[in-house]
Amino acid sequence: MSVTNYVDSVSMGSSDVAIRNDVDVEGYNKCLDINEFSVAATNRELVNLENAAVNIDSSSDVIIGPVTQFHINGNVTIHQKNERLPTGMEQNDDIGNVYNTNSKDIEADQQEQTECKRRSSINYIKWICFLIMVGYHAKMKVFYKQDWGGVVVNRTRLSSYVHLPVPFIIIKHTGGAFCQTESECKQLTKELQSKHLALNYSDIAYNFLVGGDGNLYIGRGYEYPNEYSRYSYDIVVHGNFLYDQFYDFMENVTQTIIKAGRFVNVIDQYYVVLCENQTERVDSPGRNIYEKVKLWEHYQNDCEEIFKTILRYLKAFCHKRKKDLGRIFICVLLSSCAILLYVSIVLHKDLVLDPEPLYGRYLGNFTIHYVSDWGGKTVTGILDNPLPVGLVIVRHTGTDTCFSLEKCSEILRILQIYQTTTFGYKDICDNLFIGGNGNIYVGRGWDTRNCYLNKLSIAISFIGNFNKVHLNDNMKTSFKLLLQQGIDLSKLPENYLMVAYNQTVISNNPGDNVYNYIKTLPNFFDIDLRKYKYKDMCSIYKAPLGKKLIL
């Protein structure tokens, strides 16, 4: 017995039978159950045998029942037609009346089979990618969701599939703890999923996560989009890489994910690698990752090239939907906007996605956040400092200490509102602030006068109440780097004088712990300015600039 294009054999005694498979499943046999194979619309019975395309010559003891129960003694000839049945499954001379299924049922079956094939295809791609990754990086382990203890989410919660091939790779960090062992990384990944599910996300937000143990942790994988876009893969590294080290073996794992995706074409050949801080104002992925990613072949910081990628993708998107009038309008609108942006960027080459405004984006391992980053009100019309200035006044905010952009931003916004409404100042009073993690927040900046003995001084304030807590190493390091930046930018002279705020007015600001710290620094000026008149103070300000000091 021989069977063509069918998944199970059919017993017909000693006869040779060829059964045509009219549903093109192309090897995806799991998509179609044997009980669903449509030989007849009802009960799989051959009807109207007189006109059917089954020729039984000199036969006896013929039993006709369900297909899987054929038992025929005699010669059997089954004619089959090579081409597919018409859309409506109409009767034809070769097939006869065996099929009696309407077009809607057939269309539904075809859609179901197409979806099933797509799922099978994606799963196949996923397995191939993982095999490639393991082969490429022999020391790397791949942990699926069930391996790291994650919740297996009902896939119906994930509203759509990723749009293949993906044109953008976004590199991020978690901003949390660094992990060095499998157990630590599994626990952090599990906690991250729990956090995202609590935020009503469909699943853990990212496609892939890389641990400090050198292993890969699968989030949504290649198959499903991340929480933010169908047109990108998010690769996230466990840790805070403003401080943590991005080791070479971790970089290799990250690049292997991309290479595997390219090998099976789930990532576009013209893909662009971006860091998260190029897409929004955040610290992620931290300078230690950012500096390495900038050296990758497909990293892009040129707006012109990025928008070329967007336009190319829009063109492909619109071509696939050219019969849908509603989406044609959307395509035209999006393309027009993209072209306008593209032209504006070509005409203004100085516009980039990773700007270095005023004093740069980073200082050592610390990030500089500007007024727009922390959500403050931008104020103009305040007098500028005649630079360089000779005096640095050190303060604290007297609030809670903060260790994240969100918390520090909240404190600074409240402080700005309080100082402008209660005291009538035009802006938040201090020039610069330092958060608990060492990151720097720009208030009035180096060039604008502050609210305290404002002529020829710079006010730097630590966020927190340092009568209660001590400065940590990050805050101390950031403070020293900030002072050195002032010298490098010619905002401060090398022989500037440093005083605490409580040396200028009666106050406990900046707290005993800050005061005791700055007394150990070389530029500290141990003088009680409260007993001097304003004009004498001006002389003190000018002393570091080579003016005669008159007290």
CATH number for position 137: 3.40.80.10
pLDDT band at 316 (very low <50, low <70, confident <90, very high): low
pLDDT value at 457 more than 80: yes
According to the per-residue pLDDT averaged within each range, which of 87-96, 118-127, 139-148 is highest? 139-148
Two structure tokens written together for 342: 């593209």
Two structure tokens written together for 204: 């853990």
Mean pLDDT of 236-240: 94
pLDDT value at 27 more than 70: no
Q: Look at residue 109 and tell me if it is in a domain.
A: no
| pLDDT: which is higher, 91 or 385 | 385
Q: Look at residue 403 and tell me if it is in a domain.
A: yes
Mean pLDDT of 118-138: 56
**Which among 264, 283, 300 is the end of a domain?**
300
Least trusted range by pLDDT, from 35-49, 97-111, 351-365, 434-448: 35-49
Q: Are residues 156 and 248 in the same domain?
A: yes
Domain count along the chain? 3
Question: Of all residues in the chain, what percent carry a pLDDT higher than 90?
Answer: 34
The residue type found at 79 is H
Q: Are residues 143 and 88 in the same domain?
A: no
For the chain, the straight-line distance linking the first and the last C-alpha, in angstroms and rounded, comes to: 114
Mean pLDDT of 147-175: 81
Q: What is the pLDDT of residue 240?
A: 87
Q: Are residues 534 and 385 in the same domain?
A: yes
Q: What is the pLDDT of residue 106?
A: 61
Q: What is the pLDDT of residue 92?
A: 42
pLDDT band at 487 (very low <50, low <70, confident <90, very high): very high
pLDDT value at 403 more than 90: yes
Q: Among residues 410, 315, 300, which one has the least CA distance to residue 345? A: 300
**Order of strands across the sheet with 142-143?**
142-143, 216-218, 208-210, 232-237, 166-173, 267-275
* 401, 411 contact by CB (below 8 A): no
Two structure tokens written together for 417: 């509102």
Q: Look at residue 260 and tell me if it is in a domain.
A: yes
Q: Look at residue 285 and tell me if it is in a domain.
A: yes
- Give me the chain's average pLDDT, please: 73
pLDDT band at 437 (very low <50, low <70, confident <90, very high): very high
Q: Are residues 160 and 204 in the same domain?
A: yes
Q: What is the pLDDT of residue 313?
A: 54
DSSP states along 200-256: T-SS-S-SEEE-TTS-EEESSTTTS--SS-SSEEEEEESS-TTTS---HHHHHHHHH
Least trusted range by pLDDT, from 83-92, 298-307, 355-364: 83-92
Q: Are residues 51 and 144 in the same domain?
A: no
pLDDT value at 85 more than 80: no
pLDDT band at 287 (very low <50, low <70, confident <90, very high): confident
Q: Are residues 150 and 78 in the same domain?
A: no
pLDDT value at 329 more than 60: no
Q: Are residues 6 and 81 in the same domain?
A: yes
Mean pLDDT of 449-464: 86
**Which among 101, 124, 149 is the end of a domain?**
101
pLDDT value at 319 more than 60: no
Two structure tokens written together for 397: 């905010």
Q: Look at residue 106 and tell me if it is in a domain.
A: no
pLDDT band at 407 (very low <50, low <70, confident <90, very high): very high
Q: What is the pLDDT of residue 159?
A: 55
Q: Are residues 403 and 466 in the same domain?
A: yes
Q: Look at residue 444 and tell me if it is in a domain.
A: yes
pLDDT band at 467 (very low <50, low <70, confident <90, very high): very high
pLDDT value at 318 more than 80: no
Sorted by sequence, the CB contacts under 8 Å of residue 330 that are 6+ apart come out as: none
Q: Are residues 146 and 6 in the same domain?
A: no
Count other Cβ atoms within 10 Å, centred on residue 217.
29
Q: What is the pLDDT of residue 187?
A: 96
Q: Look at residue 316 and tell me if it is in a domain.
A: no
Q: Are residues 74 and 160 in the same domain?
A: no
Q: Look at residue 343 and tell me if it is in a domain.
A: no
- Buried b / exposed e along 393-404 (16+ C-beta atoms within 10 A): bbbbbbeebbee
| pLDDT: which is higher, 117 or 186 | 186
Quote the domain boundaries for residue 252: 132-300
Mean pLDDT of 379-399: 85
Helix, coil or strand: residue 342: helix
According to the per-residue pLDDT averaged within each range, which of 10-14, 228-232, 423-427, 505-509 is highest? 505-509
pLDDT value at 543 more than 70: no
Q: Among residues 356, 378, 354, which one has the least CA distance to residue 443? A: 378
Q: How far apart are CA 95 and CA 54, in angstroms?
A: 9
Q: Are residues 159 and 66 in the same domain?
A: no
pLDDT band at 285 (very low <50, low <70, confident <90, very high): very high
pLDDT band at 122 (very low <50, low <70, confident <90, very high): low
Q: Are residues 88 and 140 in the same domain?
A: no
Least trusted range by pLDDT, from 8-17, 85-94, 507-516: 8-17
**Which among 300, 330, 347 is the end of a domain?**
300
